[in-house]
Amino acid sequence: MSIAQQLYQLQEVDLELAANQQQQARVSGQLGESQEIVRVRVTLEAGRQRLEELEKQQHTVEWEIEDLTAKLKATEENLFGGRIKNPKELTNLQREADELKARRTQLEDRALEVMDQAEATSKNITELTDELSRLEAEWRNQQEKLSTELAELKAAHAKLSDERQRLAAGIVPGTIEVYEQLRLRRGTAVARVEQGTCRGCQITLPTTELQQVRGGGLVRCGSCGRILFLA
């Protein structure tokens, strides 16, 4: 096996290792809590707090209605009980009764409004709770799959690392250094030669270079500097 072929095999493993690392980064980035779940939880908590506030408002309004009803009852008893005969006092009592009735009507309208809001909020809470349950179930299932995928990727990475070490051990150290420098500069260090062309830079090779490659020597492309490999 020529040095160029050894380096090409090493490069293939390095490319697989790089792809593996990218996949691990992708999977790792998807592990953890979902932003969508966080959003729904925040919205749900806000809805629960809103419902609690509406229920307090409803109780307050109901107490005020009860208080006004009691006052109205006492006023009407004085108004229609026959005990008070003074026209002016009766007129004042009638005015007070009318004011109490008007205020109670306003509070009853407010109570209905709060009740409607509480009902709508409660319905929304139920829908959000169902949505959260669905999202959490999907998230748990996804996390299990991602964890399994990550474990498989790590196992594959370990095998590729062992394979790289084995291949590198069979190559002259100085050649490995040239290979690594080319990888840093060019992304890939070895280019296949196909139909007399360097596939690294797509330049047609001079006849002398092509003959040297065919002879099995370690030849670098005169254009891009990559090590040439003829399959």
Nearest to 9 by CA among 167, 176, 145: 167
Residues 189 and 137 grouped into a single domain: no
Say how far apart CA 214 and CA 230 lie, in whole Å. 7
Which ranges of the chain would DSSP assign to H, the alpha helix? 3-30, 35-80, 87-169, 173-186, 207-214
The contacts of residue 13 (CB under 8 Å, 6+ apart) are 160, 163, 164, 167
Across the chain, mean pLDDT equals: 95
Mean pLDDT of 191-216: 93
Residues 120 and 182 grouped into a single domain: no
Nearest to 40 by CA among 160, 143, 139, 158: 139
In a domain, 112, yes or no: yes
Residues 48 and 111 grouped into a single domain: yes
- Number of structural domains, the chain? 2
Mean pLDDT of 145-162: 98
pTM: 0.70
* 76 phi and psi angles, rounded to 5 deg: -65, -35
CATH number at residue 120: 1.10.287.1490
Residues 135 and 220 grouped into a single domain: no
In a domain, 89, yes or no: yes
In a domain, 219, yes or no: yes
Q: What is the pLDDT of residues 14-70, one digit of tens each?
A: 999 999 999 999 999 999 989 999 999 999 999 999 999 999 999 999 999 999 999
Residues 54 and 132 grouped into a single domain: yes
pLDDT at 1 over 80: no
The boundaries of the domain holding residue 104 are: 31-157
Residue 94 one-letter amino acid: Q
Residues 149 and 206 grouped into a single domain: no
